[in-house]
């Protein structure tokens, strides 16, 4: 019974996700077309000849009526056809998929680390009395207030460039707004790249953990304060359990569920904010490529980037929701 | 009085809340600086550039916080930044409150298809990466109306959490006996929403607006930092972007420390206010 419930739940979530992607891409279409100053061709190649411009417009149907353009656009989005010209060997999606592992490496490590440390500190926080408690919550308030990109700017300026404590990110992203990208660009081994990137990863991960720590920490503390007043906790204490056992076995377990519930929203915030950290450190990831594409209004790159980010976010949200439904039988759709 | 809609005793409890009051004092200081900005600045933050000897100069008596690589006075820009930050953050927070409350009330009270559609839209805006969304809205309004565009863009990205919270609260209120009683006695939907439900959720709107101000400040700084804002408007994000692009990584400390600290200061003040407000409201929820 429970297994079929989970399956139905996942199915409903997946259908919802497809509709969400459709809505996201429709909004993107409206936004891209409401920008004054011409379409992407006039922006990317302002001095190209009329024939070249017309040829470029044809691929994305930019010479057709708006409704037809919309249909072409949606078809391209869902068939993953993100080419700028017909003869292109690799398209924007290939480039982004090449960079996907690096983005996942950075965000995945940071998210997992910040949740583990946050939960650990949050559990300690309630049992600790006095100075430590004040110190930890004070520090996390300050860390929560400093926006991640400002920390990134400070750390990059001082620890990377001025005092050379941490190594810089050793891989540079360039040239994706250019028209003709060939396969040789992506022939570099991913494992080699990753090994080259590892030393540079320390600082971005450190910043993402510092910033991402506060939300699970505060949430857990608040939940535990509420749960600690429930009758069953008093019972546990009356049974003669040690304070540690009461907190970790009875209080923390009940307080962890809302944390998981919140994780799906938190993930959206982490990914939205994280692409800026990528940009500041020129980390070769989706965020950097997307922001570079935004500067030249490159339709394929922007569309592929938004599509990929939305899909990542929706998949991770569905995983969190399914785990939540599996653990908590009260969750219904 | 606007605070009359808050639950009874909230203000009294807020007054005795150390964190909340600290945040309020920090905000008051910022507002005073913003109002007095024309008297506090030493040079014109937009048009003044220092003479050649003082380009990229460390703090001296003449330039209390030094000058940036182009010779603009950091101190004057820093003070002027309070104005632009508050002028962008407040309106967008109000907009967030309005959109969030309206959507939350509608979707929570009517339920069914309306709820499903509104929920889908709110998830759409939740997963839309916020920075590209605001950037594209700013693009579509053009560089010289960037201020309005940033306000609208920020509101568009942040209303979802408010709407979710209001909806959840409305759902729990709807099953209470007094709503049933109002329905049975023949009140119209509008009357129930405005007379019975809205007064009971409006405190959440206030709470989420204070949270939204902090996020709005960060998003605004981000957009200016990426160089997508109004180039003629002095903001802290623009100061950071300026010094970073002109100094290729080796930005001098006096140009990056003040704007970053100021953004953090404002975010911290609103975070303290919102957590103080939440704590002084929470007590009621537990007691009731």
Closest by CA position to B287, among listed B57, B9, B88, B27: B9
A16 vs B161: CB contact, 8 Å cut-off? no
Domains of chain B: 8-34+74-281 (1.10.3720.10)
Mapping DSSP to helix (H, G, I), strand (E, B) and coil, where does residue B186 land? coil
Given this model, what pLDDT does residue B282 score?
A: 61
What are residue B73's phi and psi, to 5 degrees? Answer: -75, 120
Given this model, what pLDDT does residue A26 score?
A: 93
Distance CA A104, CA A84 (A): 26
Tally Cβ neighbours within 10 Å of residue B22. 15
Given this model, what pLDDT does residue A129 score?
A: 63
B260 vs A153: CB contact, 8 Å cut-off? yes
Residues (pLDDT < 70) of chain B are: 1-7, 282-288
- Judging contacts by C-beta atoms under 8 Å, the chain A residues touching residue B244 are 153
- Judging contacts by C-beta atoms under 8 Å, the chain B residues touching residue A160 are 249
How far apart, in Å, are the Cα atoms of B135 and each of B132, B152, B156? 5, 11, 12
Given this model, what pLDDT does residue A188 score?
A: 67
pLDDT tens for each residue of A27-60: 999 998 888 877 778 877 778 888 888 887 887 7
Token pair belonging to B248: 């290729």
B270 within 8 A of B26, measured Cβ to Cβ: no
Given this model, what pLDDT does residue A330 score?
A: 67
A78 and B CB contact within 8 Å = no
What's the number of CA atoms in the CB half-sphere (13 Å) around residue B120? 19
* Radius of gyration (C-alpha) of chain A in whole angstroms: 24
Given this model, what pLDDT does residue B261 score?
A: 92
Q: Can you state the angle between helices A131-145 and A92-127, rounded to 10 degrees?
A: 160
pLDDT tens for each residue of A254-271: 777 778 777 777 777 777
Longest dimension (CA), chain A: 85
What are residue A182's phi and psi, to 5 degrees? Answer: -105, 175
Mapping DSSP to helix (H, G, I), strand (E, B) and coil, where does residue A178 land? coil
From A27, A145, A153, residue closest to B240, measured CB to CB: A153
Given this model, what pLDDT does residue A10 score?
A: 85
- What is the DSSP track for B88-106? HHHHHHHHHHHHHHHHHHH
User: Burial, A112: exposed, middle or buried (Cβ in 10 Å; 0-12, 13-18, 19+)?
Assistant: exposed
- Judging contacts by C-beta atoms under 8 Å, the chain A residues touching residue B222 are 147, 149, 276
Scanning every residue of chain B, which has its alpha carbon at the shortest distance from the alpha carbon of A24? B124
B144 and A CB contact within 8 Å = no
Given this model, what pLDDT does residue A174 score?
A: 59
Residues (pLDDT < 70) of chain A are: 1-2, 126-130, 172-188, 329-333
B240 vs A276: CB contact, 8 Å cut-off? no
B89 within 8 A of B266, measured Cβ to Cβ: yes
- What is the DSSP track for A139-161? HHHHHHHS-HHHHHHHHIIIIII
How close B287 comes to chain A (CA, Å)? 12
Given this model, what pLDDT does residue B283 score?
A: 42
ipTM score: 0.84
Tally Cβ neighbours within 10 Å of residue B8. 9
A92-296: CATH homologous superfamily? MetI-like (1.10.3720.10)
- Judging contacts by C-beta atoms under 8 Å, the chain A residues touching residue B249 are 156-157, 160-161
B136 and A CB contact within 8 Å = yes
Given this model, what pLDDT does residue B288 score?
A: 25
What are residue B67's phi and psi, to 5 degrees? Answer: -125, 155
What residue spans define the domains of chain A? Answer: 1-79+299-333, 92-296
A147 vs B140: CB contact, 8 Å cut-off? no
User: How far does Cα B92 stand from its chain's mean position?
Assistant: 6
How far apart, in Å, are the Cα atoms of A108 and each of A257, A273, B198? 21, 14, 41
Q: What percent of chain A has pLDDT over 90?
A: 5
């Amino acid at each position: 019974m429970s297994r079929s419930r989970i399956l139905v739940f996942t199915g409903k979530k997946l259908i919802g996700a497809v509709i969400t992607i459709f809505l996201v891409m429709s909004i993107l279409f409206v936004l891209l077309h409401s920008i004054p100053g011409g379409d992407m061709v006039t922006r990317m190649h302002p001095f190209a000849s009329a024939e070249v411009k017309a040829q470029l417009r044809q691929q994305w149907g930019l010479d057709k009526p708006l409704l037809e353009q919309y249909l072409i656009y949606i078809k391209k989005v869902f068939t993953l056809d993100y080419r700028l010209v017909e003869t292109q060997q690799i398209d924007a999606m290939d480039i982004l998929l090449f960079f996907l592992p690096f983005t996942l490496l950075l965000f995945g490590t940071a998210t997992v680390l910040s949740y583990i440390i946050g939960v650990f500190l949050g559990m300690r926080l309630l049992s600790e009395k006095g100075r430590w408690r004040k110190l930890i919550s004070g520090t996390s308030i300050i860390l929560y207030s400093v926006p991640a990109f400002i920390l990134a700017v400070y750390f990059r300026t001082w620890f990377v460039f001025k005092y050379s404590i941490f190594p810089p990110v050793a891989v540079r992203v360039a040239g994706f707004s250019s028209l003709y990208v060939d396969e040789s660009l992506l022939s570099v081994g991913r494992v080699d790249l990753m090994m080259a990137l590892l030393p540079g990863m320390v600082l971005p991960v450190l910043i993402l953990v510092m910033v991402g720590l506060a939300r699970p920490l505060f949430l857990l503390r608040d939940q535990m304060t509420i749960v600690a007043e429930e009758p069953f906790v008093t019972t546990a204490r009356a049974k003669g359990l040690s304070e540690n056992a009461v907190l970790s076995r009875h209080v923390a377990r009940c307080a962890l569920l809302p944390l998981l519930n919140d994780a799906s929203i938190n993930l959206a915030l982490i990914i939205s904010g994280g692409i800026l950290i990528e940009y500041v450190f020129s980390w070769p990831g989706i965020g950097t490529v997307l922001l570079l594409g935004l500067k030249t209004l490159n339709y394929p790159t922007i569309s592929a980037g938004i599509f990929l980010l939305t899909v990542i976010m929706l998949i991770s949200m569905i995983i969190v929701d399914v785990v939540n439904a599996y653990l908590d039988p009260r969750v219904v759709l | 009085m606007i605070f009359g809609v808050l639950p009874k005793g909230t203000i009294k409890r807020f007054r005795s809340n150390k964190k909340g009051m600290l945040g309020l004092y920090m905000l008051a200081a910022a507002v005073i600086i913003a109002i007095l900005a024309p008297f506090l600045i030493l040079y014109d933050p937009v048009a003044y550039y220092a003479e050649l000897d003082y380009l990229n100069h460390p703090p001296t008596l003449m330039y209390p916080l030094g000058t940036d690589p182009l010779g603009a006075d950091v101190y004057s820009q820093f003070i002027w930044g309070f104005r632009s930050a508050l002028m962008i953050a407040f309106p967008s927070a109000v907009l967030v409150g309005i959109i969030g409350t309206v959507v939350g009330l509608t979707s929570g009270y009517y339920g069914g298809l309306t709820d499903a559609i509104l929920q889908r839209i709110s998830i759409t805006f939740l997963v839309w990466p916020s920075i590209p969304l605001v950037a594209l809205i700013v693009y579509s309004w053009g560089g010289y109306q960037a201020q309005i565009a940033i306000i609208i863009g920020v509101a568009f990205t942040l209303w979802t959490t408010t709407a979710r919270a209001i909806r959840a609260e409305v759902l729990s209120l709807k099953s209470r006996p007094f709503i049933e009683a109002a329905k049975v006695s023949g009140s119209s939907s509008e009357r129930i929403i405005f007379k019975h439900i809205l007064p009971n959720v409006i405190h959440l709107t206030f709470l989420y607006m204070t949270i939204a101000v902090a996020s709005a400040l960060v998003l605004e700084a981000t957009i200016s930092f990426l160089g997508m804002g109004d180039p003629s408007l002095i903001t802290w994000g623009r100061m950071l972007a300026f010094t970073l692009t002109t100094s290729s990584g080796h930005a001098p400390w006096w140009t990056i420390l003040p704007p970053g600290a100021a953004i953090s200061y404002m975010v911290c003040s609103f975070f303290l206010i919102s957590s103080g407000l939440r704590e002084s409201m929470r007590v009621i929820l537990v007691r009731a």
